[in-house]
Structure formats: C-alpha cells, structure tokens
Amino acid sequence: MDTARVERCIFKPMVQESFDRRIEWCDIFKGIIILLVVTGHCTSFFNQWIYQFHMAAFFFISGYTSRWENKFDYLVKRFYQLVLPYYTINLIGVISFWALNKMNLLHMISTIEFPDRIQDAIRMLFKNERVFCDWLGAMWFLPVLFLANVFLVCIVGALKRKWVVLIVSVLTYLCFMSTGLAGGFFFIKLAGMAQLFMVYGYLLKEGGGLDLRTIRTSIAIVLSIVISVIWIILRINGFSNTVDWPSSKFNGWSDIFLPLLGIFLSINISLLLSRIDLLKKTFILLGNNSMGIMCFHFIGFKFAYIILILLGRMSWDEFHLLTPPYFDMGWECVLIVTIAVVISIVLWEKITEIKWIKILFGKDKRVVSVILQLNFMKNMEKTLSFLLNTVKESLNNFSLFIKINIKKWQILLTILIIGILLFVTKIVPFYKPIEISFPYYRNMISFGEGWLPQSQTEEYRWICMNSVFNVFLINQDYLSVDGYIPEGVENVSCFKIKVNDVEVYSENVQSNFLINVQKLNIKDYIHEYMLNMIEIEIDGKKHPSESDADQRELSALINHILLE
C-alpha cells in the first residue's frame, strides 16, 4: 500500500485552519486535565495514574498551542497573562488570611500558620519562598509556565534543527532535575524541567504539518486502547512513576517519557469527545476556564464541605482541611469535584467582569498592546534581540567549525567516551552499597519531608515522625538504620519502616531508645533501576520547653543508613 493510500485510510481530508484560531480538541484536552487535577486533590483513589502526567500535560498543550511572530511580544504577553495574576491573586489571598488571622478565625478554615506580621508574608510571597494562603495552593503553576515559555523561546530561537532542539531540551531537563535549587530559585528548577514537555508539544505541532483533528474516530479508539494496554502492562511490571511537581518529587530519567502515555491517551480521548456535541461543549467550557479552576477549586471545596456537613458525611472539625477526608471514589467525591468546578467557574467569570480586576488578572488583551508601545519596552526588545542573535550566530559558527574540521567518526568516538564517563561516574556507584552518614555531602539520595535542618558539622540528623528519602536502587537488597529516640518524646510506641508505601518493619519502642535495624531484607519491595521511596515513621514527638535552646519539634535522630 503506498503512502497516499495509508494517509487516506488513517486521516480524514485536511481541513485548512490557521493556528491563530482556537482548536477545539486543545480546549477539551485542557478540560480533561484540569478535571483530573481537581480529582487528584479531592481523592487519592486515581493518583497513581493522574500524578504520572497531569502537570506535564498542561506544559505539553501550552507548547503545542504556543505561537509567535515576535518572541519578545509573545513573552510580554505571557508575563501579563501568567505572572501578574499570580502575584495579584496571591496578594489578595495573603491580605485576606492576615485579616482572618487577626480576627482569630483563620484556624477554623485553614491549616496554615500565618506569621505575626503581614509584611513577612508579603515579603516571602514576592521572594517566591512561600505563599501564606493554602486556598490558592495550585497557583505555583503560573510562574513556572511563564519561565518554561522563556526556556522554550530561547531554545527554539537559538537552534535550527528539531532533533538538536530535542537533545538540548532533554539535557536541560536532566540538569535541572539533579539540582537542589530551592526557595526563590525553585520555580526556575521546575521551569527547567517543564520546558521539555513544552518542547514535545511544540515539535509535535511543527513536525511535518500533521493536523491531529484529521485522525479518524476508529483510529483514535484503537490508539486509546493500545496506549491503555501498554500503560497497564508497565504499571504491573513496576514502571509507574508518581510525580509531584510542587514537592519536587521526581523519579529520574523515566519521567522523560512515561508521562507521554497519559498525554497521548488524553489527546485521543479529546479527539473523540470533540465529535460528541454535548460532551464537547462541557469540556470546552472547562478548558476555557482552566485557569480559574486551577486558582479557585480549593475554595470550591469549602462550599462542598458545608453540604457534606449538613448531610452528616463530614464534621465541622474537618472544615479547616485543605483537601477532604478520604472518600474513596464514592458520591461524596463526585459531589466535591462538581461543586468545586462550578464554584470556580462562576467565581472566575464574575470577578473578571470587573474592569480593574480583569486588567490585574491578565484578561484584558489591550493592556499588552499599550505596554509594548512604551519606549523602555522597545529598547528592551532591541537588547534582547541582539543578545539572542549573538548566541544564535555563535552556535552557527561553531556548527560550521564542526562540519569543516571534525570527521563523523571523531564525533561518535567523543560521544562514546562521554557516555562511558557518565556511566562510570553516575551509574556504577549505584551498584555498590549506598552508605548515608552525616554530614551528608553526596547527591545519591534526596531527603524529603520530615528531615529537620542540621549543621554541617553534626554527625546525625534529627527527624520528625514521617521522614522520607528517595534513592535510586539497582541491586541493593538489605537496609540498615541506626539512630536514637531521645528522652522526652511523648506518646511514642512504634517505629516503622516503609519501602514504596509498603510497611516492611515494625518495632515497639519508647523514649530513650536505641534504634538498631540491621540487614532488613527489602528485595521484594524495591523497584530496580528506579527511584524508591523509603519512609521512617515514628508515632511520637518531643515538644520543646521554653528553656530548650533547640525549639524544633522532633521524634528521633538518625546517624547512619546503609543499603547493600
């Protein structure tokens, strides 16, 4: 069968439609993903699937729909649409929470501990250190998306060939994934990783002029089934990574391609829904209001809580919770998600009808045109264009030098040598026993929540109740942990160890107790060649007295961990 016949079999005749117009399946795609985001925050029932790809999917579709004639104008527009509303909405939230805290009402509706001075909260907001309004907890996505757009424009603008763009994007992802950037630089780290999925989307749109809207229904159904089967098989065999972007919980190189399964499954489902009028309109509405839902769905949860409290399914003591108690996937969860989405859409649409709010929330298109006419913006554009062209010219000259002076076999040999060095320095150490003693300077493991800050001179590290660390394992089958539960830890009765959420060890303990777990067999619970999560759990806590020099709450100290 020739190529033309194959294309007629798989695709409908091409409909010429400019990318300047909205693409229905893209809005439906965003509607599906934002619904998954709200569902993931409501119940953990589907999170082993949702958290593999949902945020990567948003970055992907943003890259697919990105278009610009002038790179500078595009970035100014994205800054106005993403960064300005991020700070505006969060500033309103911080001021509201400060007022509620002053009236001694905040503890009734939130779990956040607000600082005594509002200027501290505002300072930390603008330094990108912390947002003291948990009802707006999902908004970290907005500045990260803007910075990822900057990465996209720079990479695509500086490089010509698509395969070079992809390689540079992957290397950028891996570099930022391995960094320990935190605080005000944390958004940059996430953006350095998010740009890869934006590049995926951009290259799919630019790679050969394929219009996904022309895929036939039967082919979309078959592709959805095939992707689902592959996904299920991979999960059964342990290849399923849960990713949590705001907590910086990643799993290594496998996160580069595993999210693509969920993304392409969502694309096929979006194409199918675009051919069913009623569902199409519903998901387009969700997609068009995805930013409002992202910002306000936690507020919608509170309205749902009131209904569930009146129905006797929740208590007023639970009203302050950010996310609801575990309801499995019953009608309560469906009710919460539905009310949260409806409230978010109504709130977003009504608020943005107010003229000055519309401007500050990045919804007035005329503002960008006015900004671009300012003289200092024109000068800035000229400067950035000069810098980008200089970088581009340097890369072109280097590429020409490579073509003239270096033979292909030399390039291949260099790549081989670099690959061997990377394998020896990055992979081989994981074949040996992994020893963790403090102070710990290596980057073979990443410490998560529960590990308290320690001085670089102390030969131990304090932990508090649930303490997690992540480590890449290959052939390590045994775990040893040494530590100490100090005197004064209240209500302590049990010490547990979990590997990938499975309890593998439990011991009755009390305060003033020596922890000594030796060669615990964890072979059946680890995922080889993948990142593994190990959790140390203690059910007691030491509350410091006013006279204690160390005012932290703690449960135990750990001075040695060995994986062999």
Hey, where are the domains in the chain? 23-370, 433-563
**Dihedral in degrees, nearest 10, Cα atoms 35, 172, 264, 64:** 80
Q: In sequence order, what are the beta bridge partners of 504?
A: none
Q: Tell me the CA end-to-end span of the chain in Å, nearest whole number.
A: 56
Buried b (16+ CB within 10 A) or exposed e, 478-491: ebbbbbebeebbee
Q: How many whole angstroms separate alpha carbon 268 and alpha carbon 221?
A: 7
Amino acid at 153: V
pLDDT for residue 47: 79
pLDDT for residue 149: 94
pLDDT for residue 254: 79
497 and 535 Cβ atoms separated by less than 8 Å: yes
Buried b (16+ CB within 10 A) or exposed e, 121-134: bbebbeebeebbbe
Q: How many whole angstroms separate alpha carbon 361 and alpha carbon 359?
A: 6
Tokens of 284: 């387009």
Residue 430's nearest CA partner among 402, 470, 472 is 472
pLDDT for residue 231: 84
pLDDT for residue 14: 41
* Long-range Cβ contact pairs of 305-308 (< 8 A, separation 24 or more): 305/336, 307/335, 307/339, 308/332, 308/335, 308/336
Task: Give a three-class secondary structure readout of 327-358.
Answer: CCCCHHHHHHHHHHHHHHHHHHHHHCCCHHHH
Q: In what order do the strands lie in the sheet with 445-447?
A: 445-447, 466-473, 530-538, 494-499, 502-508
Tokens of 263: 């993304």
Tokens of 2: 């020739």
Q: How many whole angstroms separate alpha carbon 425 and alpha carbon 269?
A: 43
pLDDT for residue 134: 85
pLDDT for residue 251: 76
Specify the CATH number for 433-563; select among 2.40.30.10, 2.60.120.260, 2.30.31.70, 1.10.1370.30: 2.60.120.260
Burial of 189 (0-12, 13-18, 19+ CB in 10 A): buried
pLDDT for residue 460: 85
Distances (CA, A) of 504 to 117, 190, 295: 45, 33, 39
Q: How many whole angstroms separate alpha carbon 467 and alpha carbon 473?
A: 19
The predicted model scores a pTM of: 0.70
Q: How many whole angstroms separate alpha carbon 286 and alpha carbon 280?
A: 10
Distances (CA, A) of 484 to 174, 552, 557: 37, 16, 5
pLDDT for residue 1: 46
For residue 482, give the 3-state DSSP assignment: strand
pLDDT for residue 146: 94
pLDDT for residue 11: 45
Amino acid at 34: I
Contacts of 270 (CB under 8 A, 6+ apart): 25, 26, 28, 29, 32, 283
200 and 60 Cβ atoms separated by less than 8 Å: yes
Q: Mean pLDDT for each 10-residue chunk of the chain (564 residues)?
A: 48 42 85 92 81 92 88 86 91 90 87 84 83 84 93 84 86 80 77 93 78 82 89 74 79 83 92 89 92 92 92 88 76 90 93 88 82 69 70 64 56 63 59 79 76 74 87 85 88 90 90 88 82 88 76 85 88
For 534, phi then psi, to 5°, come to -115, 130
